[in-house]
């Protein structure tokens, strides 16, 4: 039982490879190692590389867009337009890490934006109170989702699909389908449209949210337990983890993020619009899945998610500049979602296949 | 053999796996309409023989399989198609039935639904076919009843009826039943056995594989016993007794225990159970002392695994008392048991213990991450240092502490799970089949780790179906039968064969 040093990649000792020709075996092993290292590097930085490629393409290569694309205002617009989505996607990865879907995030954000606008318009509450109400409503919706999943045992897919519909109903009943545009505090809309040091001010909120989610997932026991539940529920139960509490809290976090996204939506658009919320859900989940193929392949992660959002937005903006019409948005997002999931399935199969 | 009609004849059946001879020249013959039982201990070759009959394994060249005197084939050429064409039908321990489908649907699955020209199901025809089977096989069921509403015995009978549905009037049908009663409640066992007797009276030949000797003797006409891959003999059930069959299973190799003296006498009791029940576990009394390794032996499904789960709070205790270090405890879940100093290594490593996609580090510290959370952040460096040290201490070979757990070999995965618990220095460690699916080298290392832990005061309970392992490892072995502790052997008198013998007997032994 010598603790012998094994080369990286030859982890399984039941994989005793007979090497009839020593030299040939060594060479093939070396090149395999080289190839797999390159593949790993590509896997890790694929989204960053794609983002750079796409910026270079529309900025320098494609003549039709080159003049307009590489302007500060364009990048500011891209960043500003993605802040709500980024906050939602960051929230969505928390339940995803423990294997649960929150399909209601877009609708929850829509609801939070409508009622935040409403408390400003009707009761003229101070700015911090309005913001707090928006976030609290999102948190409450998340708690209801979490309770339905953990107490009633309804699958998260069904529970959040249902709550998304219920929320849409409540919003339409309350607004009668009309946007609330009166009485939004100017401070909020100025913040939504402003820049600090050249960067759109709502992006700082995204940055704080990203740091919080990153901290939660990577630097707290809760985050580690969340990964454990996502990796193997039964093992998690048998190391003493309280699964219901962990899952419940993940929905609370995604609900709170959706509430914050709703407030940002008011800041961005200056209104509580009852019809925009649901469109965020699919894109946010796409970004989360696309992000999971990169940076930490196989894991939902903060940096990958943010890169995915800006990759999608930049590509779509570039295509729009090139004259492609609006439908490209849905086409591109849909393909990206299926491709992202397809790629991650293939990669994990290759990883498993390579080790067994 | 020549003067009697033969429904199924096997001669010279052998099977060699790399490193072991699972079957060695087995001759067996079944008469038409006979219930023939096949018994033997763990690893005696029963399942190998059945898999050869089914064509799943190919036997070594030289054996012959003969069915009803008509088909004779070289056993190494026997395929699943041959088995089916010869009228051999198999119902396994897990009978592959669908609880939410109706009886008629269950009958049609596999055999095919009768369909009309457009491919639509002819329900009336299927129902009629099912009615005929219900009558022929005495099922207490209606075609449209979901299987979930049937008694467990009737569910098994549906599986039998499905397997035999194309056999007209039972002619030339041979039914192979593999441990059909293991998961049945006691009352249902009798129902099923009654049904089998009736089928046999109607002309069906049955090969009945079981390890419940009392059941076998009440059911079968003749009993064949396998040991270490060889046929010990075939006897008429009427001419033998339970003790006689058990002696054949065990062999007459009863010697004094080979284990060295490992008596742990007067240590402090760390765990006491009184009248503990839960799941299949019935009224268990046991005392576990500091530094002691207690083995739990028994047949498959006797309740050993469930007893560990009750002790760990993973299965609720229905009644009884549990004292850990003299303090009465009632566990609402594993977290409570862990707080009381108990650890649990489950048998299905991949399903119940490992986090395959996570790193070695994350796997080792699963369940105790909180200790690295100080000053509002996880101390990853400290965690890594601890885990690297644990890898050295617990003999885990992995490229690094951030290698994903699924890339490790089975043995290293098991040592990983052991390390997770042992580094917490548990007072009590519960282990279910700790060396299952582990290579020989790792097995030795696991024994070493367990001995080391025991020497430092950890008490352990080990469940294993490898009784030789218990003989080597334990200070004391208790035998479970149908949820109860029925006997206890102490080192140096622990003996593999004696354990097999006690596990098989149905009556109390002195």
Which CATH number does the domain housing residue A254 bear?
1.10.3470
Q: Lowest mean pLDDT: which of A2-11, A74-83, A220-229, A316-325?
A: A2-11
Based on its alpha-carbon atoms, the radius of gyration of chain B, rounded to whole angstroms, reads 26
Q: For residue A329, what are the CA distances in angstroms to A243, A333, B101, B180, B370?
A: 38, 6, 45, 59, 44
The answer to the question of residue A235 being in a domain is: yes
DSSP for B293-336, written as a single string = EEEEEESTTSSHHHHHHHHTTSS---EEEEEETTEE---SSHHH
User: 111-150 in A: which are within 8 Å (CB) of B?
Assistant: none
The nearest CA of chain B is from the CA of A16 a distance in Å of: 11
How high is the pLDDT of residue B474? 92
Q: What is the pLDDT of residue B310?
A: 96
Mean pLDDT across A248-277:
95
Residue A31 placed within a domain: no
Q: Check residue B383 and report its DSSP letter.
A: H
User: What value does the mean pLDDT take over residues A194-200?
Assistant: 93
Confidence (pLDDT) at B507: 56
pLDDT for residue B259: 40
pLDDT at B255: 40
Q: Which residues in chain B touch residue A231, judged by CB atoms under 8 angstroms apart?
A: 355-358
Which tens digit of pLDDT belongs to each residue from A91-137? Answer: 999 999 999 999 999 999 999 999 999 999 999 999 999 999 999 99
Q: Hey, are the CB atoms on A8 and B420 less than 8 Å from each other?
A: no
Say yes or no for a CB contact (<8 Å) between A13 and B333: no
How far apart are alpha carbons B143 and B451 in whole angstroms? 58
Considering its fold, how many domains does chain A have in total?
1
Q: What is the mean pLDDT of residues A153-162?
A: 96
10-residue block means of pLDDT along chain B (510 residues)?
72 84 90 92 83 90 84 84 88 85 89 84 89 89 91 90 76 84 79 90 90 87 92 92 85 45 67 93 93 90 92 94 93 95 92 92 92 91 95 92 88 94 95 86 88 92 90 92 90 84 68
Is residue A171 pLDDT above 90, yes or no?
Answer: yes
Residue A14 scores a pLDDT above 50: no
* A/B interface, count of CB pairs below 8 Å: 112
Q: Which pLDDT does position B412 carry in this prediction?
A: 92
pLDDT at A347 over 70: yes
Half-sphere exposure of B6 (CA within 13 A, CB side): 17
The verdict on residue A5 lying in a domain is no
Alpha helices in A152-201 (DSSP H): 156-175, 186-193
Is the Cβ–Cβ distance between B81 and B154 less than 8 Å? no
Question: Bigger pLDDT: A321 or B254?
Answer: A321
Q: Do B354 and A232 touch (CB under 8 A)?
A: yes
Q: Classify residue A181: in a domain, yes or no.
A: yes
By Cβ distance, the residue of A11, A238, A355 closest to B352 is A238
pTM of the predicted model over 0.90: no
List of E strands, B433-495:
459-463, 476-481, 484-490
Range of the domain at A154: 50-351
Q: Best of A16, A223, A239 to disrupt the B interface by mutation (most B CBs within 10 Å)?
A: A239
Q: Confirm whether A158 is domain-assigned.
A: yes
Average pLDDT score over chain A: 86
CB contact under 8 A, B346 and A238: yes
A15 within some domain: no
Verify whether the Cβ–Cβ distance B406 to A13 is below 8 Å: no
DSSP state of B43: T
Closest chain A residue to the Cα of B395, Cα to Cα: A3
- Evaluate if residue A198 carries a pLDDT over 80: yes
Q: Give me the pLDDT at residue A157, please.
A: 95
Q: Provide the pLDDT confidence category of residue A24 given band limits of 50, 70 and 90.
A: very low
């Amino acid at each position: 039982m010598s603790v012998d040093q094994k080369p990286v990649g030859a982890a399984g000792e039941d994989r005793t490879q007979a090497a009839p020709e020593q030299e040939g075996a060594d060479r093939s092993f070396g090149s395999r190692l080289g190839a797999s290292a390159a593949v790993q590097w590509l896997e890790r930085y694929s989204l960053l590389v794609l983002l750079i490629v796409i910026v270079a393409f529309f900025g320098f290569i494609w003549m039709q867009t080159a003049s307009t694309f590489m302007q500060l205002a364009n990048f500011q617009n891209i960043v500003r337009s993605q802040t709500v989505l980024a906050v939602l996607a960051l929230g969505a990865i928390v339940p995803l890490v423990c294997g649960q879907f929150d399909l209601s995030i877009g609708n929850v954000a829509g609801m939070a934006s409508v009622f935040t606008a409403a408390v400003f318009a009707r009761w003229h509450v101070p700015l911090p109170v309005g913001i707090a109400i928006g976030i609290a409503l999102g948190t409450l919706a998340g708690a209801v989702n979490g309770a339905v999943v953990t107490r009633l045992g309804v699958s998260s897919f069904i529970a959040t699909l249902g709550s998304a519909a219920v929320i849409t109903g409540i919003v339409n009943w309350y607004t009668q389908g009309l946007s609330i545009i009166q009485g939004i505090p100017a401070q909020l809309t100025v913040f939504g449209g402003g820049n600090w040091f050249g960067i759109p001010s709502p992006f700082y909120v995204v940055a704080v949210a990203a740091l919080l989610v990153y901290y939660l997932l990577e630097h707290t026991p809760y985050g580690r337990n969340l990964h454990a539940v996502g990796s193997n529920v039964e093992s998690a139960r048998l190391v003493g983890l309280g699964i219901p509490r962990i899952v419940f809290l993940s929905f609370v976090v995604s609900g709170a993020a959706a509430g914050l996204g709703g407030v940002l939506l008011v800041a961005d658009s200056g209104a509580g619009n009852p019809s925009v919320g649901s469109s965020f859900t699919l894109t946010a989940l796409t970004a989360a899945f696309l992000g999971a193929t990169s940076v930490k392949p196989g894991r939902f992660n903060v940096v990958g998610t943010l890169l995915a959002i800006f990759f999608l937005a930049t590509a779509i903006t570039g295509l729009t500049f090139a004259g492609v019409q609006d439908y490209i948005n849905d086409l591109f997002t849909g393909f990206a979602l299926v491709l992202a999931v397809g790629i991650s399935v293939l990669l994990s199969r290759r990883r498993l296949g390579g080790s067994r | 053999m020549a003067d009697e009609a033969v429904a199924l004849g096997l001669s010279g059946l052998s099977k060699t796996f790399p490193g072991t001879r699972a079957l060695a020249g087995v001759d067996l013959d079944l008469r038409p309409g006979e219930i023939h039982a096949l018994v033997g201990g763990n690893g005696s070759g029963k399942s190998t023989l059945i898999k050869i009959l089914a064509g799943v394994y190919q036997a070594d060249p030289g054996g012959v399989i003969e069915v009803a005197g008509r088909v004779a084939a070289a056993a190494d050429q026997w395929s699943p198609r041959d088995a089916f064409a010869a009228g051999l039908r198999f119902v396994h321990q897990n009978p592959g039935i669908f609880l939410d489908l109706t009886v008629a649907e269950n009958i049609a699955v596999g055999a095919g639904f009768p369909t009309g020209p457009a491919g639509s199901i002819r329900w009336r025809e299927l129902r009629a076919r099912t009615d005929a089977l219900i009558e022929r096989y005495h099922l207490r069921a209606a075609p449209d009843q979901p299987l979930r509403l049937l008694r467990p015995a009737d569910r098994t009978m549906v599986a039998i009826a499905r397997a035999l549905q194309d056999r007209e009037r039972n002619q030339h049908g041979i039914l192979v039943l593999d441990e059909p009663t293991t998961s049945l409640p006691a009352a249902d066992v009798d129902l099923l056995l009654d049904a089998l007797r009736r089928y046999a009276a109607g002309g069906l030949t049955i090969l009945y594989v079981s390890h419940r000797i009392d059941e076998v003797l009440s059911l079968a006409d003749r009993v064949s016993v396998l040991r270490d891959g060889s046929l010990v003999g075939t006897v008429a059930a009427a001419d033998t007794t339970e003790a006689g069959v058990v002696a054949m299973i065990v062999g007459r190799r009863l010697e004094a225990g080979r284990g060295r003296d490992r008596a742990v006498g007067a240590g402090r009791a760390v765990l006491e159970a009184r009248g503990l029940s839960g799941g299949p576990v019935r009224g268990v009394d046991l005392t576990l002392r500091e530094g002691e390794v207690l083995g739990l032996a028994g047949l498959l499904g006797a309740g050993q695994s469930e007893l560990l789960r009750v002790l760990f709070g993973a299965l609720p205790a229905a009644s009884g008392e549990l004292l850990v270090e003299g303090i009465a405890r009632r566990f609402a879940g594993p977290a409570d048991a862990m707080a009381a100093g108990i650890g649990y290594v489950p048998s299905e490593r991949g399903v119940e213990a490992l986090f395959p996609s996570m790193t070695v580090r994350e796997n080792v510290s699963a369940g105790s991450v909180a200790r690295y959370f100080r000053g509002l952040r996880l101390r990853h460096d400290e965690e890594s240092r601890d885990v690297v040290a644990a890898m050295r201490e617990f003999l885990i070979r992995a490229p690094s502490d951030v290698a994903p757990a699924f890339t490790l070999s089975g043995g290293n995965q098991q040592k990983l799970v052991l390390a997770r618990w042992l580094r917490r220095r548990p007072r009590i460690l519960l282990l279910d089949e700790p060396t299952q699916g582990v290579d020989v080298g790792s097995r030795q290392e696991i024994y070493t780790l367990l001995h080391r832990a025991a020497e430092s005061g950890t008490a352990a309970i080990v469940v294993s179906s490898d009784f030789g392992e218990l003989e080597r490892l334990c200070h004391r072995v208790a035998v479970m039968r149908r949820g109860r502790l029925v006997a206890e052997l102490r080192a140096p008198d622990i003996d593999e064969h004696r354990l097999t013998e006690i596990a098989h007997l149905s009556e109390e032994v002195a």
